[in-house]
Chains A and B, each alone.
Chain A
Amino acid sequence: MTAEEPGMAQQVMAADDLFPATRKTPLPGGYMGRILRVNLSTENFEVLPLPEEPLLKKLWGGQALALYILLRELAADAQPLGPDAKVVMMTGPLTATGLTPGGTKMCAVFLSPITGYTLGRAATSGFWPMALRAAGYDGLILEGVARRPSYLYIDEERVELRDASPVWGLGTRDTENRLRELVGHRDARVACIGPAGEHVVPAAMLVNDYNHNAAHGLGALFGSKKLKAIVARGTRRPPLHDKKALIDAGRRWRKVLEPTVYTVQQRLKSPGYGGLWGAITRNNWRSTVITDEARGFDQNRVTLRPCFQCQRLCPWDVEIGEGPHKGKGGHFNAGSEWMDTFYNLGLKGNDVLQLTERINDLGIECGHFANAAGLAFEAWEKGLLQADRTQGLVLQWGNHASVERLLEQCARREGWLGNLLAEGVEPLAKALGGDAPQWAVHTKGGSPAQHDWRPRISDMLDNLTGSGGMKSQGGGSYAVSPRDLANTEQWGPLDPALPEGWARSQMLAEQLKQACGLMGCCWFALIDINAEDALNSMMDSLNATTGWNMTLEDARAAGHRSMILQSIFGAQHGWRAEHDWKHVGPRFLEPVPDGKYQGFTIARWLPDIVQEYYRLSGRHELSGRPLPGTLERLGLEEFAAWAEREARP
């Protein structure tokens, strides 16, 4: 296919063995059938056919399919932010069908610019992934570096790399508004970087639809590629194998979700996710006790603002109703790591909401800032840092003006401290010297999701074994085996204070949440995996969409493949399982300092519990590489070169 008119991106149907020029197998339902390869250097655009059905049946989509492509394409010596770096973004078969909750997901993979040796995985929901599919694409491969600041406009067959100078330098909110005006489509969806991405802050985010962020440094890759944004729109929808059955399965899924639907009332009083178990991060993880953090929230006007066709109603908008920020607005996602981010700096109430709006506008991953700034504040308290290095800012806990200014300095790498905050907690700790490295919280140099996970064994495992960037591979604290898996798994309730059984629980939850992501759905729509019909309704949705006949065991295998591919990618770039418990900021493994979990720590069971997790999932407990039998069982023999040679060398 060549250009149909001048000014239109040239599109060529290219092919190799992964992207077949002529399909030998039918395209299953739920897939648009096309991946767009964008070479930013040459401004060449190729429409690649989706891989054959056997591979799709193994990997489904999302992280696993994206990573499979990245493993094939990324040069061995590519630097995370170098010209050879690539980003693969992928939706799944349920993304944008509109008929299930959570059908909103896109996952991007790349070599992490935060850790430098693990998989960067940046997932997002909202509306943008739907718009990419409406434009006719399952996914994107981004490569090269644009000659000038640019944005990519995708409107079905029209693909253009356009001059981004009208929006370069703008925050994510203004960028989104302005680009929508520039492309002339009110319903075009925008994923963009803010100043942090432009200044290649390693933990810069890609922000879409005002309230969603693809983190783990994806924004830094965009900045390094001079790509400000991707604007997508279109009229297409994924074909469905059995629409009636999908509507029925989606209705069941929605019913499962009903008890967990968010309400305005919760937003008016909740201090965030940590409220669930009663611990938040305060003063650089030195206190966990919830006090009046949610003060003033009850004066706000809150509007729930769901993602595309999802009824869980996670995201929300606020108009602050009291105090110095009265009248200001904000757009938030559900995770609430951003709340703990500012609690960690001693802030409370609507200061937190106002600063969250700022950090998302600047496009900095909140945990990255929380832990670097938390360390700086502690260093100030302990006399290790003075005003000569803060450009005169006073870093007293709870000082709103200083935090607001620090955010700007971090996003634009201004001054000694701003630049180090941008670089992250490890370089900052090293530069501060003294005992500062002991006060740091990080996992592999990146940030855990910013909640005080320390009292929760499974969540700690999740964050320690994750690839080091805010969002883990997927897991959670599940003390009882899922009802829908009763014929294969029956255990629990597990004791939250003892290690027994949690590695298995974590592995199972990770498999299932990965599977949910691979089909293009959001884990927040699979929040209670124990609920009756939670897993079955999800599987029936997949099968109705694709025409497959996948079982829950197939789902676990698909999720497992995604986990194994992540390990293989890590192994290729120098990661070993040992990094999970050795390359960790010490404070993250300290006993809980106060509150109802005071003294609790999983450190006493390290590394055993992490090694148990690797053993259970068929990986070597020190190298983290898959065992040959694991690859065989999952049909990933082609990666045999990266397997552990012997089970126990």
Chain B
Amino acid sequence: MNAPLERTPYPVARLLDGQARAILFDAAKCIGCRQCVEACKDWNDLPRGDTGRIGGTTWLTIEPPVMEGQSSVWGRNSCMHCQFPLCAAVCPVEAITKYEEGPVVIDPARCIGCGFCIEACPWQVIGRNRAGGKARKCTLCQDRLAGGVSPFCVSACPAGALEFGLLEEVRAQARQRAAANGATVYGGNEAGGTQVLHVLNRTPAEHGLAAVAAQRFPPHRVGLGAILRMLFGASGGLSGKWRALGNALRKPWRLKYRYWPGRGG
């Protein structure tokens, strides 16, 4: 039995070759055109509109939420594909899988819509489907990745602000660009390391990014309301609650990520 893997508090799987990959976002090159935002909607068949805020139908935003051309500093806001995804750790039904290549993916068939992940995500980049209430977010185009091609947002960027490659190479590239331009790298250490690295020329806040502690499973809070709704509400149905209960009984050590508010990993 592979002990370390077994103690990972969420499902882990392999998509391709097991080599970690990452997106590189270079804020200095971003022109705020939002072609990545619309490309995300195109690939995932999400409705147009509401491009200003993350939600069930918008998985990627460019910050600040002003019209194109009305800011000189832009930021990318979407799932960071944490190496140690808290969203997956708090999911009571193991609906969120971490792929070795990078993607953190919610399985809509297994999601019961409890909203734990939405509340726990340090970047608040998980939305909720209006119909059904299930959690939705960026998948790092796991379906494209399985075929060996880049995420659609990356391929759409007309300004060269997005790149995709092996994590180690992207990390080196990010460091190099940051050093050359007096910029900083964001995402390398936050939440224990992510697979979306940003090269920022201003503070993270100016690029619309949250300050997140440099530790795995940083302190978080799943509200009592969400817990009670999950336990006693209609969401997820009886079968969902049965699955949550089964998981809790089989892996009780995982409960600490969910039910001890403020608990870090």
Contact = CB atoms under 8 A, between A and B. Distances in A.
Interface in B116-159: 155-156, 158-159
Given A317-B69, A331-B69, A306 B33 contact: yes
B41 interface: yes
Given A186-B65, A210-B69, A308 B48 contact: no
A180 B68 CA distance: 14
A234 B156 contact: no
B197 to A, nearest CB: 24
A305 B50 contact: no
B185 interface: no
Interface of B: 31-33, 35, 38-39, 41-42, 45, 47-52, 57, 65-69, 72, 155-156, 158-159
The A interface, classified by DSSP as helix, strand, loop or mixed, is loop
B48 A305 contact: no
B35 A233 contact: no
A305 B45 CA distance: 25
A187 B47 contact: no
Given A305-B33, A306-B33, A306-B158, A234 B48 contact: yes
Contacts of B49: 134, 185, 187, 233-235
A187 B50 contact: yes
Given A98-B38, A186-B51, A261-B158, 13 more contacts: A96-B48, A98-B42, A134-B49, A210-B69, A235-B49, A235-B57, A237-B41, A303-B72, A304-B159, A308-B38, A309-B42, A311-B35, A311-B158
B35 A309 contact: yes
Nearest to A301: B72
A236 B35 contact: no
B68 to A, nearest CB: 6
A313 B35 CA distance: 11
Given A187-B49, A235-B57, A309-B156, A99 B31 contact: no
B48 A309 contact: no
A511 B49 CA distance: 34
B69 A305 contact: yes
21 contacts: A98-B41, A98-B42, A130-B48, A185-B49, A187-B49, A187-B51, A187-B52, A234-B48, A235-B57, A237-B42, A237-B47, A251-B155, A304-B33, A305-B31, A309-B35, A309-B39, A309-B42, A309-B156, A310-B158, A311-B35, A313-B158
Nearest to A237: B48
Interface in A104-134: 130, 134
Interface string A175-187: 0000010000111
Residue from the set A134, A185, A261, A306 with the largest chain B CB neighbour count within 10 Å:
A306
Interface string A612-646: 00000000000000000000000000000000000
B24 to A, nearest CB: 19
B42 A134 contact: no
Residue from the set B45, B49, B158 with the largest chain A CB neighbour count within 10 Å:
B49
B130 to A, nearest CB: 11
Nearest to A257: B158
A304 B51 contact: no
A235 B39 contact: no
3 closest cross-chain pairs (CB), A and B? A235-B47, A311-B158, A134-B48
B209 to A, nearest CB: 20
Interface in A292-310: 301, 303-306, 308-310
Contacts of B51: 186-187
Contacts of A236: 47-48
Contact of B69 (A134, A186, A303, A310): A303
A356 to B, nearest CB: 15
Residue from the set B47, B52, B155, B158 with the largest chain A CB neighbour count within 10 Å:
B158
Contact of A309 (B38, B45, B47, B57): B38
A236 B48 CA distance: 6
Interface string A311-342: 10100010000000000000100000000000
B57 A186 contact: no
Contacts of A308: 38
Contacts of A311: 35, 158
A301 B31 CA distance: 12
A303 B31 contact: yes
Contacts of B41: 98, 237
B52 A186 contact: yes
A261 B31 CA distance: 15
Residue from the set B42, B52, B155, B156 with the largest chain A CB neighbour count within 10 Å:
B42
B68 A305 contact: yes
Contacts of B69: 210, 303, 305, 317, 331
Contacts of B67: 180, 186, 210
Contact of A235 (B50, B52, B65, B158): B50
Contacts of A98: 38-39, 41-42
Contacts of A235: 47-50, 57
A180 B41 CA distance: 22
Nearest to A305: B69
A405 B45 CA distance: 50
A237 B49 CA distance: 10
Interface in A208-254: 210, 233-237, 251
A306 B69 CA distance: 10
A186 B58 CA distance: 14
A303 B68 CA distance: 10
Nearest to A98: B42
Nearest to A319: B72
Contacts of A303: 31-32, 69, 72
A97 B39 CA distance: 10
Contacts of A317: 69
A210 B67 CA distance: 10
A433 B170 CA distance: 71
A496 to B, nearest CB: 33
A604 B38 CA distance: 52
Nearest to A177: B67
Nearest to A331: B69
A330 B18 CA distance: 49
Contacts of B33: 304-306
A233 B51 CA distance: 11
Interface in A152-167: none
